Amino acid sequence: MVVKRANSEKKNRANIEISIDDFKFMLMLEAKYKDLRDFNKKILKLVEKDLNAYSNMKLKIERRGRPADTLIFQCELDKQIDLVTELAKDTPPRTDNKIPKTNSTPETHLHGGLRKTLHDALTAKIQLTSFEAKFLSDMQSKYDLNGSFSWLTDKQRTTLEKILAKYGRI
């Protein structure tokens, strides 16, 4: 994957190049959409339309190669958002020194297992396969981006749970 960034005063831009096969793998769609026209119509165009309509990002997806083998995501943000500042606006300041109680939900438990597994792999306490390492890293990146696992498909959730169970994290 190749990322090229260009910044101007008010705009943040990036061109992200990724092979179509790698992108389908990340979405766990490698067995589906063998025809690029179906993949473009049912996935890429919908993603482009939704992001352009419902976010501060403008996205244009182009294909390169004959036959097409690479996707180029041209992303542009109108305004950079500082997530810490935005979250602080919604959270009233604490007047007591008590640590707030957190509710342990299946999602927080799943994310904790994911973080622990990646940490243990990084510190060589466990050895992940290349698929597991890439999959878990991708899941962590998407969680960091979205703040939840609400976007997980059933297949992705099952795969994540199986990997975490294999290493005793669930």
Q: At what angle do helices 130-146 and 154-166 cross, to 10 degrees?
A: 120
Which structural domain range is residue 11 located in? 2-77
> Is 125 a member of any domain?
yes
Task: Tell me the whole-structure pTM to 2 decimals.
Answer: 0.43
Give the other-Cβ count within 10 Å of 18's Cβ: 17
Q: How far apart are CA 125 and CA 97, in angstroms?
A: 36
Q: Could you report the per-residue pLDDT of 116-135, keeping only the tens digit for each?
A: 888 888 888 888 888 888 88
Q: Are 12 and 62 within one domain?
A: yes
> Is 97 a member of any domain?
no
Give the other-Cβ count within 10 Å of 95's Cβ: 6
> Minimal CA–CA distance to 152: which of 132, 135, 129, 134?
135
> Minimal CA–CA distance to 72: which of 34, 19, 108?
19
> Is 66 a member of any domain?
yes
What is the number of domains present in the chain? 2
pLDDT at 152 over 80: yes
State mean pLDDT over 83-109: 63
Q: Are 108 and 72 within one domain?
A: no
Range in 18-27, 69-78, 90-99, 161-170 with the lowest mean pLDDT: 90-99
State mean pLDDT over 97-101: 56
For 37-122, strand residue ranges (E) read 57-64, 70-77
Residue 133, amino acid = A
Q: How far apart are CA 107 and CA 140, in angstroms?
A: 13
